[in-house]
Amino acid sequence: MLTHIPYGYERLFELITEQSSTHQIRTILEIGSGSGNFVGLLRKQGFDAEGIEGKVESYRDDLGQWLHRGDVVQLAEIFGDKFFDMIIAQGVFCHSAQFDYVFSSYLPPEMIIPAFIDPKLREELKIPIRLKIEKMLRSCFNQLNPNGLLVDVENYVPGDCVFFTKESAERIVYRVLRYEPKEAVLQKPY
């Protein structure tokens, strides 16, 4: 019996339920899983769920073996030949790929504020941001089972954020089952 969906995860939970009615979903990987509360909920629901997170200091102790520390671009190194029926992301591709992982790795600290203020610099920065997002998409593709699904929900207002595009997903040869900047369901073809 479901008691509590972590804040912000309501839509993602709906999509997982919807997709589970038409696809056989047993193994789920949450990328950018934070402290792991949603992984815990999915495990309670009977899924073999794991999470990967790059930054959070404290993970839930009771989920230790199912929560991994690392960057989403390193899924092959971390999971090897464990593949997933579904990979899920909540607020990861845009917001965090952009601010935490791209700005911090491409810019010296004294450049971060100018990068937000200077429109030209911001435009230039979108190139490495897009490359990082596409690397993450590709890494997920490679760690999915054939017919596996990537379900992504983003939770902020589109504006200066960079989203992955339908075209970039298709270039990686995902089948795009649904695409809006804030919500996407992609499938790895068999």
Ligand X SMILES: C[S@@+](CC[C@H](N)C(=O)[O-])C[C@H]1O[C@@H](n2cnc3c(N)ncnc32)[C@H](O)[C@@H]1O
Among 90, 125, 143, 186, binds ligand X (CB under 6 A): 90
**How many angstroms separate the Cα of 22 from the Cα of each of 1, 15, 16, 153?**
21, 11, 10, 19
Among 100, 138, 168, 175, binds ligand X (CB under 6 A): 100
Residue 92 near ligand X by CB under 6 A = yes
Q: Which is nearer to ligand X, 116 or 175 (CB)?
A: 116
Residue among 52, 13, 58 at smallest CA distance from 31? 52
Stretch that binds ligand X, among 41-49, 94-102, 115-123, 171-179 (CB under 6 A): 94-102
Dihedral class, residue 188 (left if φ above 0, else alpha if ψ from -120 to 50, else beta): beta
C-alpha angle with apex 127: 106 to 112, nearest 5 degrees?
35
Residue 53 near ligand X by CB under 6 A = yes
Q: How far is the CB of 11 from ligand X (least distance, A)?
A: 11
Among 43, 48, 56, 183, binds ligand X (CB under 6 A): 56
Among 23, 26, 44, 55, binds ligand X (CB under 6 A): 55
Residue among 47, 49, 24, 48 at smallest CA distance from 39? 49
Q: How far is the CB of 120 from ligand X (least distance, A)?
A: 25
Backbone angles phi, psi at 25, to 5 degrees: -115, 115
Tell how strand 27-31 and strand 175-180 pair up.
Answer: unpaired
Among 11, 43, 60, 95, binds ligand X (CB under 6 A): 95
What residue has token string 């017919």? Answer: 147
Residue nearest to ligand X (CB): 32
* Gap between the terminal Cα atoms of the chain: 34
Q: Which is nearer to ligand X, 40 or 54 (CB)?
A: 54
Q: How far is the CB of 127 from ligand X (least distance, A)?
A: 17
What residue has token string 């971060």? Answer: 112
Residue 111 near ligand X by CB under 6 A = no
How far apart are alpha carbons 152 and 88 in whole angstroms?
6
Residue 19 near ligand X by CB under 6 A = no
Which residues in this chain contact ligand X in the complex, by CB under 6 A?
Answer: 8, 32, 34, 52-56, 71-72, 90-92, 95-97, 100-101, 136
